[in-house]
Amino acid sequence: MGQRLLRRCRAARYGLAAGGVLVAALAGPSPAAGQQDGRTVWDGVYTAEQAARGKVVYDGNCGACHLPDMSGSDEARPLAGDRFMQDWREDTLHTLFVRIRNLMPFDEPATLSEDAYLDSVAYILEFNGFPSGDRELTPDGLAEIRIEGRDGPAEVPSFALVQVVGCLTEDGGGWLLTSSTRAVRTRDPSASTEDELAALGSRPVGTRTFELMNVYPNPASHAGHRMAVKGFLIRDPSGDRINVSSLGMVAAACNP
């Protein structure tokens, strides 16, 4: 890597929140990840010409840090292969697009045109082996295009930042979330807003149980409440756990 590029990447080190989590608000409500309708990245959602334009955008504005082959460097994560799927499957192109548009290039965020950002997403899709089609990717409809593996929809992978909603239940000095919804991805570890919590209240209860780790402060006053929990998911055959980053009360009772 040339000196200039190296310097650019070093500069990018500053500004990461603790734990390397990039914190930035998504514009507007995040789409309901996990919905089963709509298209997926396997349905030819961009064109070859768009990806070719995206390569120019990428090489000029992204490749210095994420590298031309998208294998990543320093803190700039890989954007291709297994790592791409670990980071993005079971989410939508809307999330990927908004994150790139609002946060990238890391040293000069939100400085490219909307089209340039869209084209870069098309190129990332092409590079990851998703097929092109005869319609370009456009801003509307991105929320309906799901990122998933060849085998179709799956559970969110371990170590993903997720949100679940369930009943806070004490269990032998520890805390469980029972009757919980399944884990869906979130990109924001901080507590949900009042509006978001209100919207979650109308969703049906689930059947999952998660063990909650590192819940601070002590949530005893919320025992028996319906809570929205965010944190890092740890999948385990003996029971899935969530390393909690935030809690918010959805309702003062467990059933809606």
169 binds ligand HEC (CB under 6 A): no
Write out the binding residues for ligand HEC, residues 181-210 only, by CB under 6 A.
Answer: 187
Radius of gyration of the chain (CA): 19
> Total residues contacting ligand HEC (rule CB under 6 A)?
22
* CA-based end-to-end distance of the chain: 56
Taking CB under 6 A as the rule, does residue 93 contact ligand HEC?
no
Which residues, numbered 5-44, are part of the site for ligand HEC (CB under 6 A)? Answer: 8-9, 12, 22
Q: Which of 100, 228, 242, 250 binds ligand HEC (CB under 6 A)?
A: 100
Single out the residue of 62, 67, 177, 228 in contact with ligand HEC (rule: CB under 6 A).
Answer: 62
Q: Does position 104 bind ligand HEC by CB under 6 A?
A: yes
Asked if 159 contacts 233 with a C-beta cutoff of 8 angstroms, the reply is yes
Is the Cβ of residue 168 or residue 188 nearer to ligand HEC in the bound state? Answer: 188
User: Which of the ranges 69-77, 188-196, 223-231, 240-248 carries the binding residues for ligand HEC, by CB under 6 A?
Assistant: 69-77
In the complex, the smallest distance separating the C-beta of residue 104 from ligand HEC, rounded to whole angstroms, is 4
Assess 94 for contact with ligand HEC (CB under 6 A): no
Q: Does 105 bind ligand HEC (CB under 6 A)?
A: yes
Buried b (16+ CB within 10 A) or exposed e, 19-44: eeebeeeeeeebbebbeeeeebbbee
Other Cβ atoms less than 10 A from the Cβ of 197: the count is 18
Answer for which of 40, 44, 75, 178 binds ligand HEC (CB under 6 A) is 75
Q: How far is Cα 42 from Cα 228, in angstroms, rounded to an integer?
A: 32
133, 74 in Cβ contact below 8 A? no
CA distance 188 to 27: 12
Q: Under the criterion CB under 6 A, does residue 106 sit at the interface with ligand HEC?
A: yes
Q: State whether the Cα torsion 9-86-208-198 is positive or negative.
A: positive
Q: How far is the CB of 184 from ligand HEC (least distance, A)?
A: 15
CA gap 39, 21 in Å, rounded: 29
CA–CA separation, 126 vs 237, rounded Å? 35
Q: Select from 26, 40, 107, 206 the one that contacts ligand HEC (CB under 6 A).
A: 107
Nearer to ligand HEC, 120 or 186 (CB): 120
Q: How far apart are CA 138 and CA 78, in angstroms?
A: 24
Instruction: Determine the residue type at 75.
Output: E
- Applying CB under 6 A, which residues contact ligand HEC? 8-9, 12, 22, 61-62, 64-66, 75-77, 79, 99-100, 103-107, 120, 187
